[in-house]
Homo-oligomer: A and B are copies of this chain.
Amino acid sequence: EVKFVNEHLVFSAVHRAVHQALVEQIPVPEVEAATESIFPSELRGAMLTSTADIGYSLPTSPQTPAISLPVLRVLGQLDNSYIIAEGPDGLYLIDQHAAHERVLFERIEHQRSRREIEIQGLLEPMTLEVSLRQEEVLRSHYQDLAEFGFSIEPFGDRTFLIRAVPALVHDKDWAGMLRELLDSLSEGDKGDWAESVAESMACHSAVRAGQALTDEEMRELVRQLEQAATPHTCPHGRPTMIHLSSGQLKREFGRT
């Protein structure tokens, strides 16, 4: 067995690569040197968190201001990745993956706390093969995973039988998701175990960047985001939206 000196770094790199593969279906363009930011100051705290430890630090409450969203009017989709909307004070650019992640994360947490997670039984049970390390973690977390809708039982050496999965992920690569999750949990330094499961489920179920959305789908996602408790960041702490206020636009256009 290869033992990594700094497991956390390795994990982060893997996790980040997976996340990147999931959120990016379009090639990443050449990145110029970072110019000045278009972030309003209210979001900067959250933003700095997510760039410092990209995507996988949990947002702490002082950095995630609980500002509720105004009602937004969807104008259209940009790059098949962002929803462009008009608010009572300016323009909103919404990251469709991050926004959907936020909405799903809160729904999963809510349903779990009320034991209302919808479960999808598999017509035929499936086997899941895992590493030694993953097996160790899995054996101590059957019950936790069951709370989210995974029905898992041991089935021999480093093999498990899956009889049911959360309905939300039944048509996704939930096996890959479970392995990623077990790796993450074997790190041992993640904050809340259940939160990690919910995050992972949300990330794997959310609409991707590069996916075309209909006007109706965009409106529906924005309505759901408006009702979220913490609409401004995704569960990993990335911003879900950029707001350009009318005053900011006037200044930029030399209108004030």
Contacts and interface: CB of A to CB of B under 8 A. Distances in A.
Interface of A: 23-24, 28-32, 34-41, 47, 50-51, 54-55, 75-79, 82, 84, 86, 89-91, 93, 95, 98, 209, 238-239, 242, 244, 246-256
What secondary structure prevails in chain A residues at the interface with B?
A: mixed
B31 A95 contact: no
Contact of A91 (B84, B86, B98): B84
A165 to B, nearest CB: 28
A251 B31 contact: yes
Contacts of A209: 255
Contact of A93 (B32, B50, B249): B249
Contact of A23 (B34, B78, B255): B255
B39 A79 contact: no
Contact of A90 (B55, B76, B79, B253): B79
Contact of A24 (B28, B86, B242, B255): B255
Contacts of A35: 40-41, 248
For A38, A75, A90, which residue has the most chain B Cβ atoms within 10 angstroms? Answer: A38
A86 B75 contact: no
Given A91-B84, A250-B28, A254-B51, A76 B75 contact: yes
B50 A254 contact: yes
B38 A244 contact: yes
B31 A254 contact: no
A136 B179 CA distance: 86
A39 B75 contact: no
Contacts of A249: 78-79, 82, 93, 242
Contacts of A76: 75-76, 84, 86
A84 B253 CA distance: 14
Contact of A251 (B34, B247, B250): B34
